[in-house]
């Protein structure tokens, strides 16, 4: 039995941040009902390609890797809630749900009386989370936003990249991950309040903007605490040295030896113990300030040998390090394989699909049950029949009307 079994999530979100949150809730055992648009449209994240998942015959499906990454452990139903019959289905499902998650533009769902005020009047114990770009209030409340925009807005790009280069976006959608995780925390806290402290349902206002600013908080604190602006340092860790990427004869590796102990170990391993006698390198702040005094020497040393040579030496010395892997190399690492991080599940279109398991390992309530991300509308009949007790002819009529 997983921790959230017995909890039902009505998921009206799409793209990534919202689906990432509901996927985690599904991993934890909640029943997640994903609502998508009918007519073969579905969640627009399905079309974020190429590449696309291939079916059993090797042909492209409409399932993008981005969609597959955020939608396991869910049931997909298609409902047009602009259709009054479709809207009524949403409300009927909400009555039997614990949580509703949506990420439409502020005010959009009010047009269909699916906003918090309308739904909570019928479902007073429902936790209703709205994930918007800029929050429910303020001059930009109705403005749309995506991760790439928020990387620019929040300051993340200003501290990412080489010192003499242009600002850079991070290589993955970090703000969506941040917002999704905050959504999970908020939902679990609201469920705890409702079920343990005798509270009812409530509204959670979560913005991608604030989740993004929170993600870069170590850098914003540089400004708030010192009234200065953090600078881009490329692959050099801010405030610590040597803690950076070094080029080797055959690739790159990361060495994290910023602490005094790690620095001593590194100097011994590289046979440069004379650096320990330099008064400018006695402490972490001094080493970061005066990194130009010794980093070029280390860069020259690492360039002389392949990464495997240095990894062996540094591992024996107890210095934190890693080769800079590509994704395939990371997944094939012996530690990753030992932990069973990659799982294989049955998929209705491709036959099988490899996925990444949830990183949480519970001793008493293990997360061992995984289902593949569904195709659009895969569970429409099942949900309408088993949860709303509709008869097959009633479902046929809803399909004919375009409501589902």
Residues 6+ apart with CB under 8 A from 324: 245, 251, 252, 253, 254
Q: Both ends of the chain: CA-CA distance in Å?
A: 32
Separation of CA 91 from chain center: 29
Residues 6+ apart with CB under 8 A from 84: none
- Rounded to whole angstroms, the Cα distance separating 346 from 56 reads 12
Show which residues are catalytic. 176
Q: What number of residues does the chain have?
A: 404
184 to 20, 131, 188, 314: CA distances (angstroms): 9, 11, 6, 39
Residue matched to tokens 């020497």: 297
- Rounded to whole angstroms, the Cα distance separating 341 from 335 reads 9
- Can you name the residues that pair with 256 across neighbouring β-strands? 243, 320
Q: Which residue from 305, 61, 145, 364 is spatially nearest to 314, judged by alpha carbons?
A: 305
Buried b (16+ CB within 10 A) or exposed e, 195-206: eeeeeebbbbbb
Structure token pair of residue 123: 């479902």
Residue matched to tokens 């929040």: 154
319 to 74, 309, 310: CA distances (angstroms): 42, 14, 10
| Cβ count near 313 (within 10 Å) | 16
Helices (H) and strands (E) in the chain, counts: 16, 11
């Amino acid at each position: 039995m997983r921790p959230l079994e017995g909890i039902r999530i009505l998921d009206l979100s799409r793209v990534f941040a919202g689906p990432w949150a509901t996927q985690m809730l599904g991993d934890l055992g909640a029943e997640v009902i994903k609502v998508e648009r009918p007519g073969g449209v579905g969640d627009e994240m399905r079309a974020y390609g190429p590449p696309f998942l291939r079916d059993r015959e090797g042909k492209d499906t409409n399932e993008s890797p981005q969609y597959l990454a955020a939608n396991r452990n869910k049931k997909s139903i298609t409902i047009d809630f602009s259709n009054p019959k479709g809207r009524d289905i949403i409300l009927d499902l909400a009555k039997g749900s614990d949580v509703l998650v949506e990420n439409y533009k502020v005010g959009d769902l009010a047009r269909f009386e699916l906003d918090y005020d309308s739904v909570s009047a019928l479902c007073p114990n429902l936790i209703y989370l709205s994930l918007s770009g800029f929050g429910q209030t303020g001059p930009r409340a109705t403005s749309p936003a995506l991760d790439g925009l928020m990387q620019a807005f929040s300051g993340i790009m200003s501290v990412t990249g080489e010192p003499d280069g242009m600002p850079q976006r991070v290589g993955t959608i970090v703000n969506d991950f941040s917002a999704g995780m905050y959504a999970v925390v908020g939902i679990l806290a609201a469920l705890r309040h409702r079920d343990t402290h005798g509270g009812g349902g409530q509204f959670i206002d979560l913005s991608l903007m604030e989740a993004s600013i929170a993600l870069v908080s170590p850098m914003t604190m540089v400004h708030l605490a010192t009234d200065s602006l953090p600078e881009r340092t490329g692959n050099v860790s801010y405030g610590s040295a040597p803690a950076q990427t070094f080029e080797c004869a055959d690739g790159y590796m990361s060495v994290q030896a910023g602490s005094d102990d790690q620095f001593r170990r590194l100097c011994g391993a590289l046979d440069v113990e004379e650096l320990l006698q330099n008064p400018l390198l006695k402490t972490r702040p001094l080493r970061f300030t005066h990194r130009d005094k010794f980093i070029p020497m280390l860069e020259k040393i690492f360039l002389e040998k392949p990464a495997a040579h240095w990894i062996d030496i540094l591992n024996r010395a107890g210095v934190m390090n890693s080769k800079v892997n590509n994704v395939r190399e990371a997944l094939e690492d012996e530690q990753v394989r030992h932990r069973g991080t990659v799982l294989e599940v049955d998929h209705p279109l491709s036959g099988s699909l490899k996925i990444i398991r949830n990183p949480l390992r519970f001793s008493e309530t293990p997360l061992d049950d995984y289902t593949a991300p569904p195709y659009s509308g895969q569970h429409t009949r099942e949900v309408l029949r088993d949860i709303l007790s509709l008869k097959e002819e009633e479902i046929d009529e809803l399909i004919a009307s375009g409501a589902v």
